[in-house]
Structure 1
Amino acid sequence: MNLNTFIFIAVALAVVLVAIPVLVGGFLRNVQAGTIRMVSWLRGATVIYRGPGKSLEVPLLTIGTTLSSKAINVDLDITDQTADIDALGVPRPIKVRVLASAIVSVGDSDQLIKTAANRFFSKPEDDQMAILNDLLSSAGRRAINLLTHDQLFSAKTAPTQLPSARGPRAAEDRAAEQRAAEQRADPTLPAIQAAEEDDDPLAIIIRKACSKELTDLGLIFNSLNIKVVQSEVADARRRQSAAEASANADIVATQQARRAREAQLDAERLISDKSRELAQTQASNAALIAQAEALKQDALGTQRSSELRATQLAQADALRVRIEATAAADAEAIRVVKLAEANAQSIRQVNEAIMAGGEAYLRYRQIEMLPLLVPEVARALAQAKLVTVSGGDPGGAAGQATGQITDVVKMLLTLQAVQGNTGPAIPAPEGLSREQ
């Protein structure tokens, strides 16, 4: 493969990648959103493209025109007189001023688009707005002449009447004939009328009045927004309504103040009743507390009297016990003293008897007490296991034993004398002993 072949291939690729897109781009044109592209061919056929999209155009064979499909807003300032009449049928027009905003746009059908392109968009923009303003203002003035003042200010509630110089009946007949003719001309008119039932009478009349003129321009009437309706009667009524509203507000404020004062008085009365009930309750509670305090003082007095009586009784009992104990102690002491004196007297008498009788008295008492002493002495001697050796001395062991027995007898006599011979017999000692 030589160099020429490579060059041919590169040129072919360039033609395919560059020339073909450029050629195709020359036949296709962008149609932006909100625009309509009209392409007319050599023999007069017209193709309409609605954006966003593409339009097919061939240079030298077609011609294209771009139209705006956006809504056109027209501000209206209309001043005219209404169709008011008095109770006697005499016209009493009222001067009104209506500030509104009408919205129109290009029709949807191809025929209306062609008409708008030839009759409306072919003019300068200032002329376009002037035409729309004149057309809609004249329709608005016509509508104001057919409506009453109250219909303009209460469009949603007042029925639409179209009075004329021939009277209400003639106006109704003419309106019926006009509706019949419109229905024969446009079969879709009933649907449009059903959609218009909820609209303002002013907008309905303006739509009907300017629909033919707008259609001749290739446009359609979309809506009418009434901003302000001004009139001297409306201002007077507004001032009257404001005064009535202010008076009603004052009345309401007065009534509210009266209700508030009544509520305050009721609250104060209720508070007074509650305070009176509270004071009565407090007084009753104070009386109950005083009565309870008096009962408490009585109980305390009774308790103190009982305590004093108990204390006095206890003191009297203690004094009585102390006196009885003292008397018993004194009696016992006297008895002990007397017993001691008797014992001492007995001892003295025994000693005196012993001293006066001497040996004879002791031996007499010894013989008298032998029945008691002999068994005890024998048992003591037997248990002592003593051996006494006498050397023939009359004062030896036998004499000493006899002397000891004599001492024992003296001691027993002394004890009997002390006890007054009333106590039990004193046993003899268990044993007598003497160490040799």
Structure 2
Amino acid sequence: MTLYRTLGMLLVIASATGCSTNPKTNNDISPSVKNSGLYLSEETIKKSNGSMEILDSIWLTLTTNDHRKLLISNEEITMTQDAVRDGLQRFCSYYNNSYNETKTEFGWNLECKDRKSNLAGTVTIVRYNTNISPYKVSMEFEVNSPERIARKLEQEKLSELKKQRQTIQKGLNGPRGTLYTTDGTYRFIRIGTMTETDVRSYYINDKEYLSEDLEYISRVAPKSSDFEFKAKGKPASKQTWYSPVEKFVINDKKTGYIYARAFNPADIIKIEFDSNQPEKDYKIYPTSSNVDFLSEDLLEKYRNKMINEATILANKKETKNLLNAFSTPDGNSIVFGDSSERRMFRDDIRYTFSPVNLCRIYPSAEVQVIISLEDTWACREIQRERNILERNDARITPEILPLYFIHLVKTLQRRVK
């Protein structure tokens, strides 16, 4: 490593309470160290009371900026390292702990131990290329202490427990409840898909809760992003909630269907969890829906329904008058020709019924999630009609192309207006 390379210096500092080496006097400290911005005075050492937490705030943090960063010249590298080494050594010595340092390829490892050889603190100095300037060094300080290490270990323990809990919840049904939306009310047996429960965390009054811990989530006003969260046995709390798409496993009592459906968060009014969750809910759940929404029977049923609606629309007097104005001589159908106006109708219809706009269904059968039953069936029906429409002599009639016919009438109505 050449001198002109840009280097960085990372200092990882942990609490120390003394060193076994002989304390230095002011006469032992080199002038270059005393001239360093990181020179540690005896007064500051006394103010720390042996705590690296305090020392950090009155020494390193106080003499740096931008999250304990400094930008120094290459010529200041040795002086700065020596100032940190000297400061930590005198800090350790003052509180009668042992001190040890080891030179590494890119810096130093500094270590303090108490009289029982327990680690009281460490400082790691690392130099690295920052590409800022060939004549400047970026110096960063990461401060640790025994207390911080303990907190980190505790946080890791809590995170592992949370991970274990979430892993268990992903393999269980529940919690069940009722979903209120702008287009209806639905009973659900869990939040998630047919293969996995979506374990969500909610922070209410700075405490973390899972779905099973809640009573309800309720929008405070239409189109508002503010929701009221109520955890069991806790007061309700209002906060802004920007939720991603919510997927629920719906148990449709009317049809008997069990399926996963995705809901737009903007359409959710309230999620209410049952107060009593039956024990039988908490078991490994099924891996597939109890109904094939794309079966020929259901698609045929939907197609007949749309043919009936299109026929009723075609028999209305207003529709007949409208079609007469745009129809072919037989008066029963619209034929796509070469006119720009008819091409415009064709393009408008095809765009409206394109898979991007309507066929919103997850491709994986294992995690099949639908936007709505109507959309799922309309998606496949419109694909069938599109294939028919690709022929040059395709006729849009209620019997042949019911969805296209309904949309064509609506398009013509807008055209007239």
TM-score range, shorter chain: under 0.3
TM-score, normalised relative to structure 2: 0.20
**TM-score normalised by structure 1 residue count:** 0.19
Structure showing greater radius of gyration is 1
Higher relative contact order (CA 8 A, sep 6+): 2
Q: Greater helix percent: which structure? A: 1
Greater per-residue strand proportion: 2
